[in-house]
Structure 1
């Protein structure tokens, strides 16, 4: 009987775990749980006899992959997969997948929720501003970006997008205006919602040059990864312009600078919370176990990311 290990420092919701176990057991797979583990040694021991591994934000390093002597597939429950060593996985013939789209609505709702929170001054009792009539630029029009646009239109915002990897017609059919460059997106939108992945090309790509182009009262909304932000450049831009604001669902490394210099002009969630809804949690867990079974039984590699 093949064994699926669910290893999560931040566990899936109980309903998600129950769903994973039901689906796996009905397909004659064993499920092992390693939740809230405190050391990497515990993960190394648990993965030793696993055929498949499901994680969330847990680090799947070369050491973990090599410890899994029977390991054939790793599924990251969520869209991002920079916590998995793809090179090591490929070298050891381990397929890596993510579960795109399962967390998308949760992340999009958080982005708009944080925008409302900051626009209203953190509900401090003073007059704020409204989102209706404001412009929002979506930097990368994937699953999350599409939902952000959909919700933003419901607020009455003007929605633009830049994504060189998407067909223009595909974006325009959603009633979204396509711009031709990143510079145009940042210079014409009061709000910019960031959804690019973290990789060698994007790390520290959002900094002073782009942010200084934003219109008056510009707001950068980051529900992607903190690594894509040039934090020194962001601080420089906010020092140069007292109207710029920054919202993120993960605090930057230089968060103390924000507390010292930019009171009322930023908001950070206590931890990365984009996928922290019951619905997203369940969706990602169920998708992960189904993808494992489909791969092991049908060689379905639809969501493989280490091709």
Structure 2
């Protein structure tokens, strides 16, 4: 019987099958706290499997200090919090949950965009604060999206799903990838490939869907923001550190761009205080995959991978390393 340590509580009932054959310990950090390496090492001591989230720093130190560890099952698509080279060196299998959250995250990107474009949070505050006394001709004017251009940075599964939704809103779609997308995807999304500089300068909405790596860290910096239209909206449902938040605050304060809609942040759960002061910014607490259907399926994928690894199966589903 193996010992599986789960670093956060998951949807109810998701671990039932795993508990039948293995010992499962579910941990919960203090409210709002991210674990340190030392805390993660203490949790993983003697464990065969760690079921982790993006906030867990699964580093070389963790692998070296936990020689019994056979597997890290990541409850996310992204794996930038895991040292994959160290995992391979220590013969630890790493899995994740690709594909499952595509539609949920694409829907969230659009929810954020519509909220920013039509100033929904400000309108909600206006009504709740008792200011709605009569209909006004110039109250909280937003912007329409039809016939505008959406620029997608990262036309992968999620980026393509966002692009398909843009067609339904009558938008033109351009995109930028490090390598050009499959022609079939381009046809399905009616997306035109352009260089990043052109995307930034011509798009009315810039939506980020790229992975976080050394090339994409602060990809949207002061220079990139300076290329964007004054009336453009920036949407980020990818990774917080793709955007230089300090530079974004400066651009918003100067009116260099019209607004932003963010589901992720550089130093989660901390948010740059300057973003809190901007009434043209919509903020969400990393809800991209937060539907009951998606979060349940993510647990099932993790459990499927864990059971395969612990049973000695040659093929381990959803394997990254």
Normalised to the residue count of structure 1, the TM-score between the two structures is: 0.85
SS, match of residue 294 in structure 1:
helix
CA distance in 1, matches of 2:113, 2:297: 25
Q: d(CA) in 1 for partners of 2:207 and 2:189?
A: 17
Equivalent residue in structure 2 for 1:55, among 46, 49, 52: 52
Deviations 1:232-269 (A, max 9, x none): 43334334435432221134567222344xx3221222
User: d(CA) in 1 for partners of 2:266 and 2:52?
Assistant: 24
1:129 to 1:194, Cα distance in 2 relative to 1, 3 A: same
Superposition deviation, residue 133 in structure 1? 2.6
Instruction: Work out which of the residue numbers 214, 217, 225 in structure 2 matches 1:200.
Output: 214
| Local SS of the residue matching 2:143 | coil
Cα distance, 1:109 vs. partner?
1.1
CA distance in 1, matches of 2:189, 2:231: 25
Name the structure 2 match of 1:88: 86
From 174, 179, 201, the counterpart of 2:188: 174
1: CA distance, partners of 2:111 / 2:47: 40
Tell me the residue number matched to 2:226.
212
Aligned partner of 1:268 in structure 2 is 283
Residue deviations 1:276-295 (CA, integer Å, cap 9, x gap): 22122111111112123334
How far off its partner does 1:115 sit? 0.9
What are structure 1's unaligned runs of at least 5 residues? none
Q: Structure 1 residue 153: deviation in Å?
A: 2.1
1:2-21 per-position Cα deviation (integer Å, ceiling 9, x unaligned)? 3333221xx2111xxx2333
SS in 2 for 1:129: coil
TM-fit CA distance, 1:116: 0.9
2:163 to 149, 160, 167: 149
SS at match of 1:183: helix
- The answer to which of 106-115 and 243-252 deviates more is 243-252
Kindly indicate whether the alpha-carbon contact (under 8 Å) linking 1:117 and 1:123 is maintained by their aligned counterparts in 2. no
- Alignment partner, residue 242 of structure 2: 228
Distance in 1 between residues matched to 2:71 and 2:104, nearest whole Å: 26
Q: Is residue 44 from structure 1 mapped to residue 41 from structure 2 by the alignment?
A: yes
Following the alignment from structure 1 to structure 2, what is the Cα–Cα distance between the partners of residues 42 and 199? 25
Please name the residue that 1:107 is paired with: 105
Cα distance between partner residues in 1 of 2:50 and 2:235: 32
How many angstroms apart in 2 are the aligned matches of 1:245 and 1:225? 18
Q: Which of 153, 159, 172 lines up with 1:158 in the alignment? A: 172
Q: Deviations over 1:107-133 (max 9, x none)?
A: 111111011111121251633223233
CA contact (8 A) 2:252 2:259 kept: yes
Paired residues, what number?
A: 295
Q: Equivalences for 1:279-294 in 2 at 5 Å? A: 279-294=293-308
Q: Distance in 1 between matches of 2:204 and 2:108?
A: 18
**Which moved further from structure 2: 249-258 or 89-98?**
249-258
CA contact (8 A) 1:220 1:245 kept: yes
Could you tell me whether the CA contact under 8 Å between 1:6 and 1:31 is conserved in 2? no
C-alpha separation between the residues in 1 aligned to 2:209 and 2:264?
13
Q: Is the 8 Å Cα contact of residues 151 and 207 (structure 2) preserved in structure 1?
A: yes
Structure 1 residues 181, 168: closer, same or farther in 2, change over 3 A? Answer: farther
CA RMSD of aligned residues (A): 2.5
